[in-house]
Amino acid sequence: MAHVVWFKRDLRIADHQALSEAACHGPIVPLYILEPELWQQPDLSHRHYCFLNDSLAELNAQLIEHYGIPLVVRCGNASDILQALHDEHSIEALWSHQETWNDWTYRRDRSVQRWARQQNIPWHQPRQFAVVRGRHNRDGWSRQWQALMNQVCLDAPQALQSVVTTSESMPSASELKLHPTHLEATQPGGRCHALALLESFLHTRGEYYSSEMSSPVTAFDSCSRLSAHIAFGTLSLREIVAACQQRSLAVKGQPRGKKGKWPAALRSFNSRLHWHCHFIQKIEDAPRIEFENFHTAYDSLREKTPDSDRFEAWKNGRTGYPMIDACMRALSATGWINFRMRAMLMSFASYHLWLDWKAPALHLARLFTDYEPGIHYSQCQMQSGTTGINTIRAYNPIKQSMDHDPEGQFIRKWIPELADYSAQSIHQPWVLPHKLNGYPMPIVDEKLARKQAMQRIYALRRGDGFFNEAQAIVKQHGSRKTVRSHSKAAKSASAQTEINFND
């Protein structure tokens, strides 16, 4: 008889509730199922697979070091693999963390659930994130986040009894037809890197987080860079929350002059750890947002198939707007860009280029090593204006460039064609067209494109029935802290003051 611990997006042994509970019940099989069909989905990419491989290698090493047991890898369809293990070892129970990911994993979990019921095998799915499954009300959501995150982190189990079984090797990326698409210098996976990032962020890199997170010049160092580790679970969110709380207490105890910028930085960071689950809750409650607009009024606003010239220019960092192109090129090469620049990239695609959010969102999903569907699709829709409940924010790429890269150093790094431009001219290189060096002229007129987009959006928001549907969206998905401002935004949907032209 065996207890199967199915590692999913929780590639660690510390603070792993499924593993700790299973360990109390008898011999276990620590299992990772490599699902080739998942890796054929359009939102997955080579860089995700590299991060996974690094993280699995470390998980395997930890299991061997602590318990003398290797990770069991099997490749194929999850239900088939579980059935084979059941035939070999008679599974007593299946243990894994509750997973809220993309539509494919949602359908896979439903089919595993059916299989487990048919076999009369209990499937225990404790939560690692504060996402509530099943019918629930958003009221009190924040309190339950706090309650889960305040629980003491679990140590890795002291001992594990294992079941001897066969393991397969991981297929290579090329066997899965995953090919690197850009010159990649992406983030390494694995818990050692995660712990080092947490330590350096909380003790050195993070002090100026609040003021430096928005600029791509500083954000690569000043942000925690933990997102991919949270997405693959090499660290638990609770471990990060606990470390942040501990550091906040230590800072609090310091004399006033010695606290520096830490209190504000830690507060900001902690609220983003709330947002993580707040956004994933949205896709848990409405999986359709991976494919459909939050608000149906936007369904026929933009062409479903993107204009290929515009889309290609955006993807290849050749729109003629240096900040857009530098960010896209940096992201393609490294797998990461900061929040504000992600928002600007998405807003430029949706407003200036007037592309439906789905194709750009898929492209970004493949580029972000930290791709997390619940956060990703909610954010992509927020930055495209299709939630119907958020303030419309159309970022002006020239202003972003001047504000967040005043000397042009980030732009020069990623757009070598513009290396000879001065800090004054680099934000609008078209004013010196003879120096462009192969870099394109702007693909659209920034002001005009933005103005036309706003007019179309606001005409739609004044339409019949818009407000009622927006109210329902607020009720289902809105944060209760900001529910009043959401309602106000929905109500005054036609007010021009809502347009944030200054961004």
Displacement of CA 274 from its chain's centroid (Å): 13
Among 5, 14, 56, 230, binds ligand FAD (CB under 6 A): 230
392 binds ligand FAD (CB under 6 A): no
Stretch that binds ligand FAD, among 81-89, 258-266, 268-276, 431-439 (CB under 6 A): 268-276
Among 31, 91, 346, 457, binds ligand FAD (CB under 6 A): 346
Find all residues with CB under 8 Å of 86, minimum gap 6, and list them. Answer: 119, 121
Binding to ligand FAD in span 321-340, by CB under 6 A? 338-339
372 binds ligand FAD (CB under 6 A): yes
The amino acid at 15 = D
51 binds ligand FAD (CB under 6 A): no
For 219, which DSSP code? H
Residue 355 backbone class (left: φ over 0; alpha: ψ -120 to 50; beta: rest):
beta
Q: How far is the CB of 381 from ligand FAD (least distance, A)?
A: 9
Q: How far is the CB of 222 from ligand FAD (least distance, A)?
A: 9
Stretch that binds ligand FAD, among 99-107, 365-373, 398-406, 431-439 (CB under 6 A): 365-373
User: What are the C-alpha distances in Å from 32 to residues 24, 36, 98, 344, 372?
Assistant: 20, 13, 15, 37, 19
Among 227, 248, 332, 350, binds ligand FAD (CB under 6 A): 227
Among 48, 225, 427, 450, binds ligand FAD (CB under 6 A): 225
Written as six digits, the tokens of 247 are 């550091």
- Of the pair 315, 376, the CB lying nearest ligand FAD is at 376
Among 9, 46, 329, 342, binds ligand FAD (CB under 6 A): 342
Q: How far is the CB of 424 from ligand FAD (least distance, A)?
A: 29
Other CB atoms within a 10 A radius of the CB of residue 337 amount to 23
395 binds ligand FAD (CB under 6 A): no
47 binds ligand FAD (CB under 6 A): no
379 binds ligand FAD (CB under 6 A): yes
226 binds ligand FAD (CB under 6 A): yes
Give 4's strand partners.
Answer: 29, 94
CA-CA distance, 187 to 229, in Å (whole number)?
10
* DSSP three-state, residue 274: helix
For 369, which DSSP code? T
The amino acid at 300 = S
* DSSP three-state, residue 74: strand
273 binds ligand FAD (CB under 6 A): yes
- Of the pair 101, 421, the CB lying nearest ligand FAD is at 101
Displacement of CA 226 from its chain's centroid (Å): 11
244 binds ligand FAD (CB under 6 A): no
129 binds ligand FAD (CB under 6 A): no
127 binds ligand FAD (CB under 6 A): no
Stretch that binds ligand FAD, among 92-100, 155-163, 221-229, 295-303 (CB under 6 A): 221-229
Work out the burial of residue 477: count CB atoms within 10 Å of its CB; fewer than 13 is exposed, 13-18 middle, 19 or more buried: buried
By C-alpha distance, which of 475, 495, 494, 496 is closest to 486? 475
- Of the pair 95, 209, the CB lying nearest ligand FAD is at 209
User: What are the C-alpha distances in Å from 383 to residues 287, 401, 502?
Assistant: 19, 18, 15
Q: How far is the CB of 31 from ligand FAD (least distance, A)?
A: 26
Among 18, 223, 297, 353, binds ligand FAD (CB under 6 A): 223
Among 54, 58, 284, 370, binds ligand FAD (CB under 6 A): 370
CA-CA distance, 366 to 380, in Å (whole number)?
14
By C-alpha distance, which of 452, 454, 450 is closest to 462? 454
Written as six digits, the tokens of 290 are 């991976």
Binding to ligand FAD in span 160-219, by CB under 6 A? 213
CA-CA distance, 190 to 196, in Å (whole number)?
10
Q: Give me the residues that bind ligand FAD (CB under 6 A), please.
A: 213, 223-227, 230-231, 269, 272-273, 275-276, 279, 338-339, 342-343, 346, 368, 370-372, 375-376, 379-380, 383
